[in-house]
């Protein structure tokens, strides 16, 4: 009929053991035809998955910060558009590890945290150097003006 009509949909409750939640949601996520709507009871800071959502939001914020810094320093930002390819790559990485799949996010989170701290430190140093450069340029201009006013008889030590 029309392209504005949605496909047939259903609304279901998903109940799963906490221990296998990672694997189940990974498999369901690869189908790419699901939309999760949290129950009102599942919302709030003390619910089982809220700390994971908060951690994901923190990592997203740090990645957005990286993206903004790359733009600031005229670096090319590459964003993967091919989701199945990215998921395939992640699956390959997960197969080569000797640890549970659910620990992969913790590894990525730690790596992002380390890089975030390093980059923050480097940007801070860069900004300090720019400030010192600007101060030296001002001092140089001041010395030139002083020499013009006082003449060549003044010796700067």
CB atoms within 10 A of CB 106: 11
Greatest extent of the chain over all pairs of C-alpha atoms, in Å: 91
Domain count, the chain: 1
Name the DSSP letter for residue 86. H
Residue 62 domain-assigned (yes or no): yes
**What is the distance between the alpha carbons of residues 43 and 106, in angstroms, rounded to a whole number?**
23
Residue 2 domain-assigned (yes or no): no
> How high is the mean pLDDT in each 10-residue block of the chain (157 residues)?
63 77 76 68 64 86 94 90 84 84 87 95 96 96 86 66
pLDDT of amino acid 38: 64
Residue 88 domain-assigned (yes or no): yes
pLDDT of amino acid 22: 73
Element (H, E) at 125: helix 104-150
Show the 3-state SS of 41-64.
HHCCCCCCCHHHHHHHHHHHHHHH
Q: Taking the mean position of all CA atoms in its chain, how far away is CA 155?
A: 54
Residue 89 domain-assigned (yes or no): yes
CB atoms within 10 A of CB 130: 10
Residue 108 domain-assigned (yes or no): yes
Residue 101 domain-assigned (yes or no): yes
Residue 118 domain-assigned (yes or no): yes
pLDDT of amino acid 155: 65
pLDDT of amino acid 54: 85
Domain that holds residue 87: 49-150
Residue 25 domain-assigned (yes or no): no
pTM above 0.85, yes or no: no
The answer to whether 119 and 69 have CB atoms below 8 angstroms apart is yes
């Amino acid at each position: 009929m029309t392209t504005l009509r949605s496909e047939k949909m259903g609304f279901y409750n998903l109940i799963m053991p906490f221990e296998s939640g990672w694997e189940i949601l990974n498999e369901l996520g690869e189908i790419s035809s699901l939309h999760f709507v949290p129950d009102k009871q599942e919302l709030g800071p003390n619910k089982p998955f809220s700390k994971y959502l908060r951690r994901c939001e923190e990592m997203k914020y740090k990645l957005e910060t990286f993206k903004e810094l790359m733009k600031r320093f005229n670096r090319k930002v590459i964003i993967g558009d091919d989701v199945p390819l990215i998921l395939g790559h992640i699956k390959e990485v997960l197969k080569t590890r000797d640890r549970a799949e659910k620990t992969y996010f913790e590894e990525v989170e730690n790596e992002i945290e380390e890089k975030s701290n390093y980059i923050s430190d480097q940007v801070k140093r860069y900004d300090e150097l720019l400030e010192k450069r600007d101060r030296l340029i001002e001092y140089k201009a001041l010395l030139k003006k002083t020499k013009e006013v006082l003449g060549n008889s003044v010796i700067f030590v």
